[in-house]
Chain A
Amino acid sequence: MTQHSESTETQAEKKPGIIRVEGMHKWYGDFHVLKDLNLAVDQGERIVICGPSGSGKSTFIRCINRLEEHQQGKIIVDDVELTDDVRHIDRVRREVGMVFQHFNLFPHLTVLENCCLSPIWVRKLPRREAEAAAMEYLERVKIPDQATKFPGQLSGGQQQRVAIARALCMKPKIMLFDEPTSALDPEMIKEVLDVMIELAGSGMTMICVTHEMGFAKTVADRVIFMDAGEIVEEAPPKEFFSNPREPRTQKFLQQILQH
């Protein structure tokens, strides 16, 4: 309980610039994937990144917890700059939760064990405390009854909700979502989005790569449009959807909102 009140306190401060990306470039070999990206995210802000496939949006958020390396520029997360220093990377990863397109649950562990693994080994919580906390989060994503099952026994939507709970168990300050609904059947997308909307309402700092424009309209503070490794446009959702400035954005919106 104490942790809860602490986290609401820090959120109340609305720390500015909890993520700062300055002049960041990334190359795969000779291929320039990310070009001069600049972004500042305040605590509690909810950002949605969209764009055509291959535009570098996934690569971008994977740089924020150093699953991908950037070669130029700065990324500072919660006052820690991401460099080659493993200690910095570990500190950032402890505060940044991530949800993947393909869930990436650990298939050899039960749902509960998936959720407790990192709190026990990284946060050094006693097992019972970690399990109690994990059950709380599983209730929050509405699948406490599946706690003893293995991931292989769950549907895609359930697995993704477990993955969200697993990330939340580390009590992260920031959550990254990398196309969390892209691998799901249509009828399961809603159950995952509902959890994400609830989470957004609780004041979590979120960066979300998604094609769900409805979600972007409902929860985003800002929508970022990327194309060919660049941030093309950045605007509040209302403005972004009703009055896009850039021709590339207009074309993209036309294509995805047509049907």
Chain B
Amino acid sequence: MTESTIKPPKKNLGPVKWMRTHLFSSWYNTLLTLVVGYLLVTSVGPLVNWVFLDATFEGSGPGDCVGEGACWLFVNQRLNFFIYGFYPDELQWRVDIMFALLALAFVPQFIEGFPGRKWLGIFGMTGLPIIGYVLIPGGILGLEEVESSKWGGLMLTLILAYIGILASLPIGVLLAIGRRSDMPVIRGLCVVFIEVWRAVPLITVLFMASVMLPLFLPEGVNFEKLVRALIGITLWQSAYMAEVIRGGLQAIPRGQYEAAGALGLGYWRKMGLVILPQALKLVIPGIVNTFIALFKDTTLVLIIGLFDILGAVQSTIADPAWQNVAIEGYVFVAFCFWVFCFGISRYSQNLERKLDTGHKT
């Protein structure tokens, strides 16, 4: 730094100055600060007491929960059910492998400069679902079969959300491109698909998938309920995704299409190499928004009798052996969802920063 460089003026030095400008700048702000401060003091203390200090973490059964605080013993003891559902104990290592692989693929995405993280991410989107498809249901390669009706808990939630997210993105891209196509038949089909699926509540889609679909299928052809739910979720989600992506496509100036065309790139290369990379980057916030919404919407499978994490917790709360543990159960579910959704959100912000090439045309 040269001597002639003038530094910006330093204001707000020290905590007192900071408090004066941020907390007590007028009588009105002073009042607000005092009221909020009072509320914090009176609520945080009891909350910390309930969650940690007075809480029961360990013990052998419902009878050990005698304190004033939360009964985490309940979550602790039924954790296995919350995570794996009815998946047989001795085969849970297969699910554990999937959890480990999922972490291996996506945790490095948060660590700047982790070796090979791009490849791990690609593995997470290609290899991981294939391994999961073999490992979790079993029935091949000498693995004992586990029917999908036994899957449940967090594992089921992740399967539903992961496959729904992974499959709906490419379908959504195709629908969005199709809707902007010059060919009337393709455009028409895409418009009808999007408008029909988007106008239907997910609950209806799930009901249709579980109750109505078997009626239309010929005798003897039957998918498992989980597969039907997955197909329903994916198609429903891809209609939403298509509209988000279409927004991005519309933001790309015509000059980009023309420049790509003038360079001799054909339609699909023009789309794949020039238009989509820019359009998808523009709508990352919208895509992530849709993903997070889907992640939480997977809890609706409860109504067609699949036990995702919320279903698993809810059915346990009804267990007469445990009393007054509903709050603990729901807090646990909320916490699990928050961890994953916050993770998705952070990852997307990471991605946006990385892809920012500092210009808008």
Contact = CB atoms under 8 A, between A and B. Distances in A.
Contacts of A102: 255
Interface residues of A, number: 27
Interface residues on B, range: 20 to 34
Q: Which of A96, A106, A151 has the most B CB atoms < 10 Å from its CB?
A: A106
Nearest to A93: B264
A106 B259 CA distance: 8
22 contacts: A90-B264, A90-B266, A93-B263, A105-B259, A106-B259, A107-B278, A107-B357, A108-B281, A117-B263, A117-B265, A117-B273, A118-B264, A121-B265, A122-B263, A122-B269, A150-B358, A152-B358, A152-B359, A167-B262, A167-B263, A170-B263, A170-B264
A153 to B, nearest CB: 6
Q: Which of A102, A107, A121 has the most B CB atoms < 10 Å from its CB?
A: A107
B75 to A, nearest CB: 46
B58 to A, nearest CB: 54
A67 B258 contact: yes
Contacts of B264: 90, 93-94, 118, 122, 170
Interface of B: 253, 255-256, 258-266, 269, 273-274, 277-278, 281, 355, 357-361
Given A90-B264, A107-B359, A170-B263, A121 B256 contact: no
A65 interface: yes
Q: Which of B263, B358, B359, B361 has the most A CB atoms < 10 Å from its CB?
A: B263
Contacts of A208: none
Contacts of A96: 262
Nearest to B254: A104
B358 A166 contact: no
Interface in A14-48: none
Contact of B357 (A93, A97, A108): A108
A98 B262 contact: yes
Interface in A72-130: 86, 90, 93-94, 96-98, 100, 102, 104-108, 117-118, 121-122
Nearest to A176: B262
B256 to A, nearest CB: 6
A93 B262 CA distance: 6
A65 B259 CA distance: 11
Contacts of A86: 266
A118 B262 CA distance: 10
Given A108-B281, A121-B269, A150-B359, A100 B259 contact: yes
Contacts of B278: 106-108
A98 B258 CA distance: 10
B266 to A, nearest CB: 6
Contacts of A150: 357-359
Given A108-B277, A108-B281, A121-B273, A166 B361 contact: no
A93 B267 CA distance: 13
A96 B264 CA distance: 9
Contacts of B265: 117-118, 121-122
A108 B355 CA distance: 8
Contacts of A121: 265, 269, 273
Nearest to A152: B359
Q: Which of B253, B261, B269, B355 has the most A CB atoms < 10 Å from its CB?
A: B261
A65 B262 contact: yes
A67 B281 CA distance: 26
A146 to B, nearest CB: 13
Nearest to A98: B262
A166 B263 contact: yes
Contacts of A94: 264
Contacts of A67: 258, 261-262
Contacts of A106: 256, 259-260, 274, 278
A235 B322 CA distance: 97
